[in-house]
Structure 1
Amino acid sequence: MTQAFDAAKLAAEYWSTSIIDIHPGSIKVRGFPIQELIGNVSFPQMIWLMLRGELPDAAQARLFEAALVASVDHGPHAPSIAISRMATSCGLPLNGAMASAINALDDVHGGAGQQAVELYDSIAERMEAGAALEEAVEQGIDAFTAEQDKYLPGFGHRFHPVDPRAIRLLSLVDEGVEQKSISGRYAAIARGIEALLKQRKNKPVPMNIDGATAVIYAELGFAPELARGVFCLSRAVGILSHAWEQRGRNERNKGPMPRQMNYTYTGKPERHLS
């Protein structure tokens, strides 16, 4: 009897979770019966509840939803979107195409939001230690470029001189600051980075979508790694949309560029075995 009890206790504790409690006829998410959540909370609110343990207030939910909406898609030239379309043309089902595409959202393509939050946090820590905003920004940027990369995550864009998504998101951030629903601390840090980059490069280097959403996620208290996680949730919508559109076309084995365009071969000239 004792062994059976110990085994049952061990099994119950093996996958212990504070997220969901399920019994026959009962499903509670973070303590809320699921039937009370259905029809009463939005999907962004549900994501917040799952990740954070509580429901967001109206102002938090609005900013969070704006960041999710802004990141859903950036066209077939975005690697993750292109991968979803190619995978679909190769015969993968929607889930396979989505998995293939989401797996590409790593440090280079998809990681800038997380990296920007980490950069903002490092500057915020310097400010907490007594540095003024301008000094903390300069120290944070110099440390980042020395230790990691000369390209700052969240600033500049290879396609957009000014990212229209960032402009709208920052206006919503400013509204939140005026309404005192967020502090504005991270918005000030991000704009301090913009100012320093403009001074050093003698030209504007505007915040892009990753920098702006990082401001929102940082203002809302999300951990840096979650900034990437929720970006993946957002971009999954675009990935699914493009995979589904591709499914409706009778194209097989679609490669990364049209068949009429050749690639450049840089290997040895033709040679033969002796």
Structure 2
Amino acid sequence: MTDRNDVADWWRTAIIDMEPGRIHLRGHPVQELIGTTGFAQMIWLMVMGERIDGPRAALFEAALVAAVDHGPQAPSIAAARMAATCGVGLQSAMATGLNMLGNVHGGAGEQAGALYQQALTAGPDTLGQTLDQWRSEHGRFLPGFGHRFHKPVDPRAPRLLALVDEAAQSGAVGGRFAMIARAIEAHLALERGKPVPMNIDGATAVIYAELGCPPPLARGFFGLSRSVGLLAHAWEQTEQGGRNKGPTPPGYRWTYDADK
């Protein structure tokens, strides 16, 4: 007779245990979590497998709040709005936008987190060499610094860093990643002869790193955060109506390269 474990072990998980009339999430009965656990705290419990509260929970929630939306010019938001005019439901419109989040749009938080880790491991005395090595491997742009739209300052970053400082003063986080991120910011300013301020990706990467998250989770948490904006814009576009809206009004045409 076949051992039932060969089926039960096909999907192994420490996230949920369930049988008729009982649901335990990370070891907690769901009914005890409902009404007592905030949504950001629930996200942390599900992903990280542990509780988060106090200043650490507030810091995590602040990072999620900061990245919810960046307007219809953001590719993910634009894609969700266009999809909403094509006859699909809200979930499909959201998924369309979410699938636009890649290495260039949406991946900078993960990359910044990896850069911070590398810089901390190498030490502050070799920061210049670390940044040069990063650029030789990944290109001239350093993730998490500068912004093509928000000049001179991304308004979200200073507020997030101030919250990290408050949490560090209370002992909730160590502050090492905030220190190395600021050191990179200062190095870039000297290198280029003008400020290159931290942006939302760099600031949220600091928070996730301070909370002990591996860099890939910065991208995952960004996707969760941006899903709020995707839902808001998809629903707004649904209410506004429109059919098969493309990226530009119909009166505008593309450039046809006839000689190619």
Using the size of structure 2 for normalisation, the TM-score is 0.97
Greater mean deviation of Cα atoms: 19-28 or 209-218? 19-28
Structure 1 residue ranges without an equivalent (≥5):
128-132, 270-274
Amino acid at match of 2:257: T
Equivalent position of 2:253 in the other structure: 262
1:154 equivalent to 2:144? Answer yes
Structure 2 Cα separation of the partners of residues 96 and 177 of structure 1? 40
Question: In the alignment, which of 13, 18, 32 is matched to residue 14 of structure 2?
Answer: 18
Structure 1 Cα separation of the partners of residues 150 and 131 of structure 2? 23
Question: In the alignment, which of 157, 160, 166 is matched to residue 175 of structure 1?
Answer: 166
- 1:155 is displaced (CA, Å) by 0.2
Amino acid at match of 1:194: E
Equivalent position of 1:190 in the other structure: 181
Secondary structure of 1:21's aligned partner: strand
Secondary structure of 2:102's aligned partner: coil
Secondary structure of 2:240's aligned partner: coil
Equivalent position of 2:191 in the other structure: 200
Greater mean deviation of Cα atoms: 243-252 or 230-239? 243-252
| Percent of pairs with identical residues | 56
Query: What are the equivalent positions in structure 2 for 1:41-60 lying under 5 Å apart?
Result: 41-60=37-56
- 1:266 is displaced (CA, Å) by 1.9
Query: What are the equivalent positions in structure 2 for 1:77-226 lying under 5 Å apart?
Result: 77-127=73-123, 133=124, 135-161=125-151, 162-226=153-217
Deviations 1:150-179 (A, max 9, x none): 001000000001000001101101101111
Q: Give the aligned length.
A: 259
Structure 1 Cα separation of the partners of residues 258 and 75 of structure 2? 26
- 1:23 is displaced (CA, Å) by 1.2
Equivalent position of 2:238 in the other structure: 247
- 1:263 is displaced (CA, Å) by 2.2
1:35 equivalent to 2:31? Answer yes
- 1:262 is displaced (CA, Å) by 2.6
Amino acid at match of 2:58: R
Whether the 8 Å contact between 1:124 and 1:136 is mirrored in structure 2 is no
Secondary structure of 1:27's aligned partner: strand
Structure 1 Cα separation of the partners of residues 163 and 129 of structure 2? 28
Structure 1 Cα separation of the partners of residues 145 and 115 of structure 2? 12
1:70 equivalent to 2:66? Answer yes
Secondary structure of 1:248's aligned partner: helix
Structure 1 Cα separation of the partners of residues 130 and 101 of structure 2? 25
- 1:10 is displaced (CA, Å) by 1.2
Structure 2 Cα separation of the partners of residues 16 and 149 of structure 1? 39
Secondary structure of 2:9's aligned partner: helix
Using the size of structure 1 for normalisation, the TM-score is 0.92
